[in-house]
Amino acid sequence: AYNLHVARPDTTATVIAAFENGATEGLEIGHSGSGGVYGVTNTNYIASTYFTSGSFRPFAIVTSNSARLVINTSGNVTIGHAGSALGKLESRATSGAQFVGSYDASNYASTTVSSTGAVTLDAVGSGAKFIFSDSVQIGTSTSSIVQCLVYQSSSTGTAGDAAFVVRQDGSNPIAEFRGNSGAIKVSMLTNGNVGLGTSTFGTSAAGVLALFNGTEPSTSPADTLQIFSVDLSAGNATLGLRTETA
């Protein structure tokens, strides 16, 4: 049998309404006075109860026979499923954004996690951008491989190609500027090595500038000295120099 107990909401009432079965499993609506109940004091409350075994039930909001929001007995909240929460708050969906914060319908930011764990952050609005007021750290260990990639758009290169890469590769961090198809244009290592067109250096190199063979310039811009690597013959790269008067 299912029972409904309703009490007059006066100053002495704790439970105003209780929706319970014969084992006192159910839902309470009440007011917590100065003595407090369920850890709250002087406030109205809705509580999920289950006293017969000495434990409590989770609290769920259900529509169309599916749990939409669940608060478990540890206080963790899940949105979109009734399973164990992965943290204090978890929103789960297999399509669309899992989290959205908005100013209005035209200005918002969303977070989407793919089926492979890739996270997409998307700011939408007339001035959409991400502003970080504090320093940002990527990765937690100097021994792990961590990468920060900035990708080209179709208007500046081949869409999807990485244009700027910062990565922690073992004990040797490196920054790279790349062109289309991932071609390295500039590389910088923490041992002081700088490469133009390459990230490969000779054994024990430190504080070295490396130049990969390019195309020798055919003109001399004003007030400019041009240095480059050029093959004198196959397999015989040498330093090239073109002055303003060359």
User: How confident is the model at residue 178, as a pLDDT?
Assistant: 81
Rounded to an integer, what distance in angstroms lies between the CA atom of residue 227 and that of residue 213? 11
Rounded to an integer, what distance in angstroms lies between the CA atom of residue 73 and that of residue 84? 11
Note the Cα 180 to chain centre separation in Å.
26
Rounded to an integer, what distance in angstroms lies between the CA atom of residue 174 and that of residue 184? 12
DSSP code for 30: E
Q: pLDDT-derived band of residue 94, with 50, 70 and 90 as boundaries?
A: very high
Q: pLDDT-derived band of residue 128, with 50, 70 and 90 as boundaries?
A: very high
Q: What is the pTM of this model?
A: 0.60
Rounded to an integer, what distance in angstroms lies between the CA atom of residue 219 and that of residue 242? 9
Residue 32 tokens, joined = 């917590």
**Mean pLDDT for the chain?**
81
Spatial neighbors of 74 by CB under 8 A, at least 6 apart, are: none
